[in-house]
Chain A
Amino acid sequence: MIAGELSSASNRALMFALGNLVKGTVLSEANFEVSVREAREKCRACSREFRLAPPFFCCPACGKPASSIEEGRKVYIDYYEGE
């Protein structure tokens, strides 16, 4: 799974939930991986690429606020693998 760092989804909480969900099922031996993905954007004003960091999500070079934080809010299942 990929969890955007602004998604409010805690890596630890996801692992806890997934681990408990599969207990006693055919997936009980499955391994789960949750990767946290940095939220980044190219600044509209100065074109510098920067990490969207709370609380202000502003470009550290020129101070322009981020246009959108949607990418950093996504949580999704990237892939599953099995025999």
Chain B
Amino acid sequence: MRVYLAKELLEANQNNAGENRSLLRASGVLMVNLIGSPGSGKTALLEHTLKKLSGYRTAVIEGDLYTDEDARRLSSWCNQIVQINTEGSCHLEAGYIGHLLAQENLLSAELLFIENIGNLVCPAEFDLGEDIRVVLLSVTEGNDKPRKYPLAFKVADAAVVTKTDLLPYCDFNLNQLNEDLRKINENLALFTVSTKTGEGLGDWCKWLEKLLQRKRSA
């Protein structure tokens, strides 16, 4: 006898992500999921973003394999921070985020940032229920990353090119990157940022503020 199931393996994660999304909608919190390679500048971008958006109630879920170094670095700049140590796992899952949303006081924030595990592959596969997914790419990694990891850029709402102060020292072709990104995801918002010089941080933060206003008025 043949029994048809047609059951998706990631269905449980999708269901949890949907529950997270409902919770966030009811509480008006904007949740931003940051993904990118190790060393792409996720923590530095968060640090400077939190400083610039200090007028808002902000919270961070900090994902790391083992340490709490990034959480300690960011704790002065947000109202609340929760550390997740995955102990080797390469991505965060919606179920654990849902557990934190229920247990911690995260829904009292206006902006909730998730720093995902440094990886351009698996975090792209797991919806956390976020409002927006942002992929980071530093100029030292090279402009070929969207071609090599297209899924991460296809499923993102925005890309942030970081460390742009190093552009004069790298063979990074911003025009080529732009052209590739338009082909992969025509709706992707693109920001270029240097946390050293502050260039581009204003546009990035204004975009986040605009999304928060839109969510509140929805």
Contact = CB atoms under 8 A, between A and B. Distances in A.
Partners in one complex: yes
B160 to A, nearest CB: 19
B150 A76 contact: no
Task: Please classify how large the interface on chain B is, using the bins under 10, 10 to 19, 20 to 34, 35 or more.
Answer: 20 to 34
Nearest to A64: B186
B95 interface: no
Contact of A77 (B1, B2, B7, B185): B7
A82 B1 contact: yes
B2 A81 contact: yes
A10 to B, nearest CB: 12
Nearest to A79: B4
A6 B151 contact: yes
A78 B4 contact: yes
A61 to B, nearest CB: 14
A54 B183 contact: no
Interface in B122-172: 122, 125, 146-148, 150-151, 154-155
Contacts of B185: 65
Contacts of A82: 1
Given A8-B125, A55-B148, A56-B150, A80 B3 contact: yes
Interface of A: 6, 8, 54-58, 63, 65, 69, 73-83
